[in-house]
A and B are shown apart, each in its own frame.
Chain A
Amino acid sequence: MRQRKYSIPRIFSFITLLIFLVIWEVAAQLDLVSSSFFPPPSKIFITFFTLLSDGTLVLSTGSTLFRFISGVFVGSVIGATLGLIMGWWRPLNAYLSPWINAFYPIPKIAIFPLLLVIFGIGERSKFIAIFLGAFFPMVITTINGVQQISRIYFEVGKNYGIRGYKVFSHILLPGSLPSIMTGLRLAVNSGFVIAISVEVISARDGLGVLLWYGWQTFRVADLFAALIVISVLGIMINYLLEKIMIRMIPWMGE
């Protein structure tokens, strides 16, 4: 029952993708669309496999993933930790939240030139940009998560003798975990966008660089090959997040 329910739409979406590629191929071959802007899928796939076999794609993906994961990981951990403390401890929240709320809406890419000035064109400025992109959504959703924990759980805790660090492990952390997971999703997506963007602006390696070279040398097929990798990565990352969420908050149901 279950399999059937899922396999029908999947086949349909696969078919539409196939039809789209066929139309594109034919249109490009017949020069109905400019093949210099939209090279036929067959050419893109050949380029893709060439770049794959000479290691370019693997290396680029590797450095992008490394930047992305390290920045998002550190940003999320620090963001969630600070968010938990701020949500719990009101004075700190009063001191810090105006700053956080002021910085949060600034697109992190907009301050990347400033980061370049301060931290140089090496890895540090990129790390900071991705870090900030992950940190802000994480800290804000975590604060909200803590503050939304129903008062009744704290009363239950008090009545049943939950004290000290157990307030944290039994109420605060699990109670805000659904929000932290939402924050993680925002952090990951924002971090991914920023990772690619900072590579386009200034980097030696990475998928963003591949995109940039594709544009500069007008090798449009390279551009498309990089885009395929980026979108597949995006899909995989979100799939993985979904799995992590189900694992981390089994009590949330469907």
Chain B
Amino acid sequence: MQNQAPVFHCSNLSKNFSAHEKHVAALSNLSFEVHQGEFVCIVGPSGCGKSTLLRIMAGLIKKTSGEIHYGHKSNSRPQTAMVFQSQGLFPWFNVIENAALGLEMQGMDKSKRYEIAADFLEKIGLKSFLYAYPHTLSGGMKQRVAISRAFLADPEILLMDEPFGMLDAQTRIVMQEELLNLWQERKHTIVYITHDIDEAIFLGDRILVMSGRPGRLLEDIPITNPRPRERNNVVSNAIEIRSHIWSMLHDEVVRDLEKAQ
């Protein structure tokens, strides 16, 4: 798997924002690769530019300098599809219209895309909500729809920006398991942003640890715990990894706090 060309790689990626003649460096000299089928988690202190990185990968904003490359370019599959933290669904579309958005934009006709979307939504427990509008759904159900929309668009890379950050702890756990099941079934490549170290260890094949602003890559940690993972199986080195990441982040957070004063 690792021998193939990466589906994404960037080198010396930097991003500066300028506002009112003040330049703020958000990302500085990031270099990493993402391989086909990998689940890559990115953790870092808040404000470290994680979301900026994801938005550059999604093509929503431009990089300032450096190189980014996507692996194979196919015309039929979009490069990326993003799951936003919240509020990403169109409130004026019902569940199935939202979920089938990517398919619609790829030119699939209505009956076909509704069939595929209904199938998918049924599998993740939204069977009786196909024609409900988002405002009638709970936070967890909304994110299920958002995840369905991203998977159904069938992108080269799925980008997720703290998709479960706004959910309560119990819903989040269930959603993490559902996401892993979907990923194992569909073999998509996922880049997943979180500030929750445990979540990153539970989900990821690799964890990229980022520094505080401007975001640099501190470490690239492989998580070798066997899959399928179960939450109750505490794997030997998970606690070590956890305290290792936390010690890095702890310093970064303290540094940020001192800078802010």
Q: Does A98 contact B (CB under 8 A)?
A: no
Decide yes or no whether A162 CB sits under 8 A from chain B: yes
CB contacts (< 8 Å) of A95 on chain B: these are none
Q: Does A158 contact B (CB under 8 A)?
A: yes
Q: How far is the CB of B74 from chain A (nearest CB, A)?
A: 14
Query: Which of the candidate stretches A12-20, A85-93, A171-179 sits at the interface with the other chain?
Result: A171-179
- Report the Cα distance A27→B149, complex, angstroms: 69
Q: A160 in the interface, Cβ–Cβ < 8 Å?
A: yes
What residues on A are CB-neighbors of B58 within 8 Å?
A: 155, 159
Alpha-carbon separation in the docked complex, A156 to B91 (Å): 12
Contact B88 A156 (CB under 8 A): yes
Q: Could you count the A-B residue pairs with CB atoms below 8 Å apart for me: how many are there?
A: 57
Against B, the Cβ 8 Å flags (1 = close, 0 = not) of A153-165 are: 1011011111000
> Which of B88, B91, B92 has the most CB atoms of chain A within a 10 A radius of its CB?
B92
The answer on a CB contact under 8 Å between A160 and B87 is no
Q: Are A159 and B105 in contact (CB under 8 A)?
A: no
Prevailing SS type, chain A contact patch: helix
B residues within 8 A CB of A159? 58-60, 80-82
- Chain A residues with Cβ under 8 A from B88's Cβ? 152, 156
- In the complex, which residues of chain A have a beta carbon less than 8 angstroms from the beta carbon of B106? 161
The interface size bin for chain A is 20 to 34
Residues 84-101 of chain B, each 1 if its beta carbon lies under 8 Å from chain A, else 0: 100110111110000001
Please determine whether B135 and A253 come into contact, CB atoms closer than 8 angstroms: yes
A171-B90, A174-B90 given as contacts; is B105 within 8 A of A160 (CB)?
yes
B208 at the interface (CB under 8 A from A): no
Binding site for B on A (CB under 8 A): 150, 152-153, 155-156, 158-162, 166, 170-171, 174-175, 177, 249-253
The 11 listed contacts between A and B (C-beta, < 8 Å) are A150-B87, A152-B84, A152-B88, A156-B82, A156-B84, A156-B101, A159-B58, A161-B78, A174-B90, A250-B133, A251-B92
Given contacts A155-B60, A159-B60, A162-B105, 12 further A-B contacts (CB under 8 A): A152-B88, A155-B58, A158-B60, A160-B101, A161-B78, A161-B105, A161-B106, A162-B101, A174-B92, A174-B93, A177-B92, A253-B136
